[in-house]
Amino acid sequence: MKKSALVADLVAEFKTNGQIVIVGASLAGLRAAEALRDEGFNGKLTIIGDEKHEPYDRPPLSKQVLKGWVRADDTLLPRKRKVDAEWRLGVAAIGLDRINKQVRLANGDQVPFDRLLIATGTRARPWFNPKEAALNGVFTLRTSDEAGRLQAALAAKPGRVLIIGAGFIGSEMASVCRELGLAVTVAERAEAPLVGALGGVIGDIAAEMQRDHGVDLRTGVSVQSLEGDAKGHVRRARLSDGTTLDVDVVVASLGSVRNTEWLEGAGLATGRWGVACDAGCRVFDINGVVTDSIFVAGDIARAPHVLYEYQFLVLEHWDNAVFGGRVAAHNMVSVEADRRPHLPLPAFWSAQFGVNIKGVGVGPFGDEIVITQGSVKDRRFAAAYGRRGRIVAAVTFDHAKWLEYYGAMIERSAPFPPPPPGFDQANGMKPIPARFPDPGVPTGLPDVVLTGHDPTDRGTEYRARPR
């Protein structure tokens, strides 16, 4: 038998009788499952999720759902096709046995696999003081259950809402509070909202936008403690500038924590920044050796990126979950020569205060910014970020139609400042410092992070001492 025929036989056998387990029943996991069936995988497919819900969409939670227009349990994702999977919902994976190729579940079950996809994503970073976090009226927002509870609290017309952290989600929630006519204070440790992702120049514009809409925005302060009343409901917040605030609802919007704890001890390159993998979504082990049967997709995948000097990039973006899930699925059922890379151009959107904010590339990779089109005063503009004479990112406020133009330049590492566009040129077009915070400063973590060149990420890994 020719070697190629033998390989084809093995692939056909795997596609018929193989077992694939996906841990994480969200956007990446669902799109991967659909892609596996599209690729002709007819074997046993198991999807494990710690939430009881079918895969649902999260972006509406901080917008339509909080507003009260859409119910929290009404964002289930549409299906592209049947996936014929065994769904294990409401039970978390708590361990991975690589020797016997089994996933251990919280209820004691062991689920065997030939190929595994890790798509466990992130959770909301909790308020640092557990006693204060347990007060009634203190919330985080990541899941649809959390969104349902927070929506009910906002619908009860609280006296004042305090949002701690002015990243995208915090700013979107502040916007919804104002649309609902609620008094809202936003406390942000950095100099302005959105600085982690977009820098101080854009942050100043976002700050002005918040204040124009009646948000009581306090920057350069942190919340030091929360106090409850006799019934255990939060009533007061103490800020680092010595002031106190009377509040009825507090939302900690402090970024995310990656769900990698269940992989502790499995010998994979996991840590604070996620699960390291190659460009084809294959997971590295702790020694930087790539595994053959374990893949990762979505918010916790951490892969080297050609556009950013091959630093490992983590991307908490919607389309990274969609495309990463698809590429991982393809590579799980393909032989070496057919494998594809997942090299996304990062792209995000956010709707707040009636403005559509969109971006491409990795802003914090740059150090300069130039407003290229439109007018900042009207909050309709496009801006490009540069590093060492190269365009690395772009952001638009109500200028989304131009984003593709900048995206194409970023993909081919075009010069910075970019040549003036033929239309709608901004005045001056002079590059200025973009004012990103020092990466070491503990502020709102951006949802796109370049995490260095070390696959095992040991510098930041917490490893429990064996008992």
**CB 318, min distance to another protein, A:** 7
d(CA 307, CA 198): 18
Dihedral, 250, 251, 253, 257 alpha carbons, nearest 10? 110
- Minimal CA–CA distance to 142: which of 61, 88, 74? 61
Task: Report in angstroms how near the CB of residue 313 gets to another protein at its nearest.
Answer: 17
CB of 398 to another protein, least distance (A): 5
Q: Which residue has the tokens 């992989």?
A: 263
Nearer to another protein, 447 or 457 (CB): 447
Q: How far is the CB of 422 from another protein (least distance, A)?
A: 18
User: Judged by CB, which is closer to another protein: 114, or 398?
Assistant: 398
Min dist CB 392 to another protein, Å, is 18
CB of 44 to another protein, least distance (A): 13
Q: Do residues 348 and 316 make contact, with C-beta atoms less than 8 angstroms apart?
A: no
Rounded to an integer, what distance in angstroms lies between the CA atom of residue 250 and that of residue 136?
Answer: 9
Torsion angles phi and psi, residue 289, rounded to 5 = -90, 135
How far, in Å, CA of 149 to CA of 53, rounded?
Answer: 16
Which amino acid is located at 162 in the chain?
Answer: L
- 319-323's contacts with Cβ under 8 Å and 24+ in sequence apart are 319/344, 319/347, 320/344, 320/346, 321/26, 321/27, 321/28, 321/31, 321/119, 321/297, 322/27, 322/28, 322/31
> Least distance to another protein from the beta carbon of 148, Å?
14
Nearer to another protein, 355 or 376 (CB): 355
Nearer to another protein, 85 or 169 (CB): 85
Looking at beta carbons only, is 322 or 391 nearer to another protein?
322
Q: How far is the CB of 89 from another protein (least distance, A)?
A: 9
Q: With respect to another protein, which residue has the nearer C-beta, 325 or 455?
A: 325
CB 334 within 8 A of CB 154: no
Which residue number, 88 or 235, has a Cβ lying nearer to another protein?
88
Task: By CB under 8 A, name the binding residues for another protein.
Answer: 54, 57, 59-60, 63-64, 69-71, 74-85, 87, 317-319, 322, 347-349, 351, 353-356, 358, 380, 398, 400-401, 403
Residue closer to another protein (CB basis): 137 or 361: 361
Alpha-carbon gap, residue 49 to 390, rounded angstroms: 42
Structure tokens at 304: 């080297």
